């Protein structure tokens, strides 16, 4: 029996070939899933064996896991990406290896929030410059170590061009930034709140133990020596937790030689590319969803499927590089695609598999764009902030996909581009795009039977040939008589035959 898809001639492969291809894909996927399950089960048994094995009286000391994040040059989004990804690795300690003149205040505030979500220990290593926004970020960490010639301070906000703010605006901004900085510095040292205030506000005098460390009219900048001076009873350093010649020296002082495992995160081209791609996420989503929709509406697997998968994979990859998600959302999306393919190609389960698959696909897209942190419950207080940006991107993507689909349905079925995409007609190979168009137009008003259940999409049979069809409302069981109402760019619109 021949299968024809009324897609304006856009028939990419025959129905049997389509099913054979899908069957091959499903078998490969099942084999892969079986392998994953076997690996998981073997891991469970291995862990169980470890638990049941005799316990040695002398257990080797667990090494401290350390992630080092170089903070170099301007503080901008690529740094935020690797910082967020590093903080989510579950390490015991994160060290910011800092040598920066400063950067964007909005990114600085976002880094504040990320550092506060991290449950481990945080250290800043001033190597050898932590100025402006870098100084503010250092104040958010638990300890601040210095290189021999390290300096920190001068954190007053300025314009994007590096110029001083107008007087009225300066007062407002300085007050706000000072409040944020004092909030993150609270409880991290006896003098840290006073120090960060003096670094931001030149109208503040810093006086400790009767000694004026900064007069009004100047911003505070500290050298290693100045930051190491001890004040008060009991005596505590003004800011510095210690001095180290390099990161390894710092870690050896704190944890002992050989008692730590260090991993360094570096900003690469992928972070810079993700910074660009993140600005186009809604467009990539819309184009990817549109391409997959067209692919599902045509037999076989071709350019639309490859394009859709590539575009959505780009969205997932950029989210991963940005530190928003791991690999899990991509796996959920793949499961959703398989469920939709099963619904369309084999089972026709009244849309159940298709609906579940679509929900998995949409949910995975939102998940990939949401900034979810490990070991932190999603509380009501910040759920809105967590989901607003992903849902906004998804909504814009759906609008883009819907608008482009309307244009495709309106213009391409009658244009030369659509005809060039058509590489075949029925299974028998008879006819060309124009002939198929004319033949399908002639089906309007004809009668046939539902070859599969329509919930609301499926296939109908007319004169021994099958066509993709859809109901505008309701559902029809397989074998029920139907009447063709009209033809669209992708399928026939049918209704139940009236008695």
- pLDDT values of the chain reduced to their tens digit, one per residue, 499 residues: 443 444 444 333 334 434 444 444 455 454 444 444 444 444 434 444 443 444 444 455 689 999 999 998 888 877 887 788 888 888 899 999 999 988 888 888 888 888 888 889 999 999 989 998 899 999 999 999 999 999 999 888 777 666 777 777 778 888 888 888 888 888 888 899 999 999 998 888 999 988 999 899 889 999 999 999 999 888 999 999 999 999 999 999 999 998 999 999 876 666 666 666 667 777 887 788 777 777 666 555 567 777 777 777 777 766 665 555 556 777 787 787 777 767 665 655 555 776 787 777 777 777 776 655 555 555 444 444 566 767 777 777 778 777 877 776 666 555 444 544 444 343 334 344 455 566 777 888 889 999 888 777 788 888 888 888 888 777 788 888 998 988 876 678 888 888 7
**For the stretch 15-50, what's the b/e string if a residue is b when 16 or more beta carbons lie within 10 angstroms of its beta carbon?**
beebeeebeeeeeeeeeeeeeeeeeeeeeeeeeeee
Q: Domain segments of the chain: what residues?
A: 2-34+276-416, 64-258
Cross-strand partners of 93 = 66, 121
CA distance to 148, 151, 209, 243, per residue, from 240 (Å): 12, 11, 18, 8
pLDDT at 401: 76
Degrees to nearest 5, angle at CA 295 with 437 and 361: 145
Q: Residues near 30 by Cβ (< 8 Å), separated by ≥ 6?
A: none
Give the CA angle between residues 296, 298, 303 to the nearest 5°: 85
pLDDT, position 302: 62
Measured from the Cβ of residue 119, the count of other Cβ atoms closer than 10 Å reads: 11
Measured between alpha carbons, how far is 326 from 208 in angstroms, rounded to an integer?
47
Distance separating the N- and C-terminal Cα atoms of the chain: 28
Does residue 121 contact residue 87 with C-beta atoms inside 8 Å? no
- CATH number for the segment(s) 64-258: 3.90.226.10
Distance set, CA 115 to CA 179, 196, 232, 383, 414 (Å): 17, 17, 29, 18, 56
Going by the DSSP 8-state scheme, the letter that residue 492 receives in this structure is: E
Looking at residue 228, its pLDDT comes to: 92
User: Bridge-partner residues for 214, per DSSP?
Assistant: 206
| Residue of 80, 141, 67 lying closest to 108 (CA atoms) | 80
**Residues 427 and 14 sit within 8 Å (Cβ to Cβ):** yes
DSSP string, 51-69: HHSPPPSSPPPPPEEEEEE
Q: What was the pLDDT predicted at 296? A: 65
């Amino acid at each position: 029996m021949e299968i024809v898809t009324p897609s304006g001639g856009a028939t990419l492969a025959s129905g049997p070939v389509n099913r054979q291809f899908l069957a091959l894909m499903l078998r490969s996927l099942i084999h892969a899933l079986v392998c994953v399950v076997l690996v998981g089960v073997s891991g469970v048994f291995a862990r169980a064996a470890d638990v049941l094995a005799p316990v040695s009286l002398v257990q080797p000391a667990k090494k401290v896991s350390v992630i080092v994040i170089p903070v170099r040059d301007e503080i901008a989004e690529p740094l935020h990406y690797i910082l967020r990804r590093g903080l989510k690795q579950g390490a015991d300690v994160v060290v910011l290896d800092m040598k920066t003149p400063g950067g964007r205040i909005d990114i600085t505030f976002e880094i504040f929030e990320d550092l506060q979500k991290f449950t481990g220990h945080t250290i800043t290593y001033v190597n050898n410059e932590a100025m402006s926004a870098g100084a503010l970020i250092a104040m958010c960490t638990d300890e601040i170590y210095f290189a021999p010639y390290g300096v920190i301070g001068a954190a007053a906000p300025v314009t994007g061009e590096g110029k001083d703010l107008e007087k009225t605006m300066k007062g407002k901004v300085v007050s706000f930034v000072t409040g944020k900085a004092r909030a993150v510095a609270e409880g991290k040292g006896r003098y840290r709140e006073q120090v960060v205030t003096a670094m931001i506000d030149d109208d503040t005098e810093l006086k400790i133990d009767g000694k004026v460390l900064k007069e009004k009219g100047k911003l505070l900048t500290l050298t290693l020596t100045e930051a190491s001076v001890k004040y008060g009873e009991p005596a505590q350093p003004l800011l510095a937790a210690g001095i180290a010649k390099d990161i390894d020296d710092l870690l050896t002082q704190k944890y002992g030689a050989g008692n730590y495992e260090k991993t360094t995160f570096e900003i690469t081209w992928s972070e810079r590319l993700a910074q660009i791609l993140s600005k186009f996420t809604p467009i990539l989503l819309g184009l990817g969803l549109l391409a997959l929709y067209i692919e599902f509406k045509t037999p076989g697997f071709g350019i639309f499927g490859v394009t859709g998968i590539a575009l959505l994979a780009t969205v997932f990859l950029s989210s991963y590089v940005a530190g928003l998600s791991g690999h899990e959302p991509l796996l959920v999306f793949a499961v959703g695609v398989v469920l939709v393919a099963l619904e369309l190609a084999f089972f026709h389960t009244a849309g159940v598999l298709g609906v579940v698959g679509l929900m998995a696909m949409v949910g995975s897209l939102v998940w990939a764009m949401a900034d979810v942190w490990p070991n932190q419950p999603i509380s009501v207080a910040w759920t809105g902030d967590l989901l607003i940006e992903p849902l906004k991107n998804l909504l814009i993507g759906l609008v883009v996909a819907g608008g482009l689909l309307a244009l495709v349905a309106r213009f391409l079925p009658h244009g030369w581009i659509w005809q060039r995409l058509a590489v075949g007609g029925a299974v028998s190979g008879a006819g060309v795009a124009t002939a198929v168009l004319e033949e399908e137009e002639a089906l309007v008003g004809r009668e046939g039977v539902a070859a599969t259940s329509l919930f609301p999409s499926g296939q109908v049979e007319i004169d021994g040939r099958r066509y993709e069809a859809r109901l505008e409302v309701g559902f029809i069981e397989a074998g029920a008589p139907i009447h063709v109402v009209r033809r669209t760019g992708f399928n026939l619109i049918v209704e139940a035959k009236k008695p």
